[in-house]
Structure 1
Amino acid sequence: MKVTQHLWFEKDMEAAIGFYTSLIPGSSVQWISPLLAETPSGPPGSVKVASFTLGDQRYMAIEAGPLDPFNHSFSIMVECETQGDLDRLWDALKAGGSVEQCGWLKDRWGLSWQIAPTRLGELMSDPDQAKVKRVTEAMLTMVKLDIAGLEAAAAGL
């Protein structure tokens, strides 16, 4: 069995997936194709479908006009090893979108992303519950996550 996430874009699907695949190493667009049959969303050729990967995750996308907008019930989480990588992704994805608490943002197409340091998962799974509490409290005060700030909270500074 294969599992693939599927995204529905009202418009600009090609621009969105081109942008996403340019940001995340190991990503690529496999194919983009118009649907040649008439669909409930439009005449032949007006609906596009694509296959792409972001890192090691498989996605399909469709551009077929308005249906349901993206919301928080689906997000893409990207774990970054360095603050530099986190900052680069954060800055690129927030352009034209909006930022939220705890490393969440919505890009210009309305898709929700969580940009988090890999270190956060390590700190949150520490057996020292006082440390986990400090890290959680620090994270809750952040918009873009800051590795140094999380490390300082873990150390009790």
Structure 2
Amino acid sequence: MTQVIQHLWFERDMEDALRCYTSLIPGSELEWQSVLAADTPSGPEGSVKLAAFTLGGQRYRAIEAGPLDPFNHSFSIILECDDQAEIDRLWDALGEGGSIEQCGWLRDRWGLCWQIVPKCLDELISGPDTEKTKRVTQAMLQMIKLDIAGLEAAARGG
């Protein structure tokens, strides 16, 4: 069966990034790392690094091979959190040295984009009650880091 594996290209510091990610997210591990022992179009022997890792049970591969295309919002990783404490923990750790954005988005210090959201968000913004969806969406658009209590209050109409 065909496997689907996300692949990330790091300009630099791939090992630090992967160690950070795998330490923060349960069900994660750095599986292996390797250095290419040959000259490549990206650089001389030893300048290109490869890795395999899992984040929350999802498989990834990574390469560190100098600048190419920087990470952007076209690809982001969504972290669905059970509670506000988990949102706060991941927000603080991944946002450190990066840039904070609106609606639960941030860019970490390696440039990768993340969306840190509560698991209940899908339930709050889906379904037949369009007025509830509108209230929750409007509340979310006013937030930087998502606040579960505020989203739930908007869903109730409060």
Q: TM-score, normalised to structure 2's length?
A: 0.98
Matches within 5 A, 1:84-123: 84-123=85-124
Q: Distance in 2 between matches of 1:147 and 1:14?
A: 33
Deviation at 1:64, TM superposition (A): 0.5
Matches within 5 A, 1:127-146: 127-146=128-147
In structure 2, the residue matched to 1:124 is 125
Deviation at 1:126, TM superposition (A): 2.9
Deviation at 1:128, TM superposition (A): 1.2
Q: Distance in 2 between matches of 1:101 and 1:24?
A: 22
Q: Distance in 1 between matches of 2:156 and 2:34?
A: 52
Which consecutive unaligned segments of at least 5 residues does structure 2 have?
none
In structure 2, the residue matched to 1:75 is 76
Question: CA RMSD, aligned part only?
Answer: 0.7
Matches within 5 A, 1:55-70: 55-70=56-71
Deviation at 1:89, TM superposition (A): 0.2
Alignment length (residue pairs): 157
Structure 2 counterpart of 1:147, one-letter code: I
Percent of pairs with identical residues: 71
Which consecutive unaligned segments of at least 5 residues does structure 1 have?
none
Divergent runs of 4+, >4 A = none
Q: TM-score, normalised to structure 1's length?
A: 0.98
In structure 2, the residue matched to 1:25 is 26
Structure 2 counterpart of 1:126, one-letter code: G
In structure 1, the residue matched to 2:14 is 13
